[in-house]
Amino acid sequence: MSLLSASVSLTRYKVEGQLETPILETIAAGLNKNVISEIDDRSLEKAVGWTSLEKPYQPDFTGSAFVYGNYLLFSLRIDRKTIAPKVVRKHAVIESDRRLAESGRPYLSRNEKERIRDQVMDRLNATVPSTPNIYDIIWNYEDAILWFFSNLKAANEELETLFLRSFDLTLVRLIPYMAAHYTSDLTDTEKDILLGLTQTHFTG
């Protein structure tokens, strides 16, 4: 659980939009719809999905297992298989040589080579176990604020995409302008001034 690590990274989001009531059931349905699926023994290279905070390898969103006080806690899991390019090349060359020997032709077309490479990747992916990466999420539904325990660009992008697909809600990163706009209680006039601001120079 990254949330319980000695040192964490954290990205904050504003959640835009409204869920259908009953809210907890809608959220559970969204989580179950995109729960992580195991890809070991399958030819898939990557899987992205939701998982349980306390049992990331046995996701369970039944009842209110993801509710902790006023917060909703679950995790984003990204499973990825990594195969060294040299391993792929080795198997592709072996397979290409075998086909050339069988057909008696002097060379393979570009399409045939690409197909061989894809088949090799599928075969290797089915034998390589995936590496799971788990990123915890704390969602304060009432305040429409979400904490994501990672600053990794790729993980944040996967979160934003999967969140929209699961709940039909948009996550807005609380970067400086957005934080000023959403969380600083500015009047409309102040928001207009904010839009026109330019950088201050503290020298001279």
Residues forming the site for other proteins (CB under 8 A): 3-4, 6-12, 53-54, 68-69, 71, 73, 138, 147, 151, 172-181, 183-186, 190, 193-195, 197-204
Nearest to 47 by CA among 167, 149, 133: 133
Cis bond upstream, residue 22 (ω within 30): yes
CA-CA distances (angstroms) from residue 203 to 196, 199, 200? 21, 12, 9
Nearer to other proteins, 37 or 177 (CB): 177
CB atoms within 10 A of CB 61: 19
What is the nearest approach in angstroms of other proteins to the Cβ of residue 163? 14
What is the nearest approach in angstroms of other proteins to the Cβ of residue 28? 18
Nearest to 122 by CA among 46, 48, 45: 45
Nearer to other proteins, 102 or 188 (CB): 188
What is the nearest approach in angstroms of other proteins to the Cβ of residue 181? 7
Nearer to other proteins, 107 or 202 (CB): 202
Nearest to 80 by CA among 138, 158, 146, 9: 158
What is the nearest approach in angstroms of other proteins to the Cβ of residue 194? 5
Any idea which residue has 């089915």 for tokens? 126
Nearer to other proteins, 46 or 191 (CB): 191
Nearer to other proteins, 127 or 183 (CB): 183
CB atoms within 10 A of CB 170: 13
CB atoms within 10 A of CB 136: 22
Nearer to other proteins, 65 or 83 (CB): 65
What is the nearest approach in angstroms of other proteins to the Cβ of residue 38? 25
What is the nearest approach in angstroms of other proteins to the Cβ of residue 26? 22
CB atoms within 10 A of CB 109: 9
Q: Where are the alpha helices (DSSP H) in 37-107?
A: 85-103
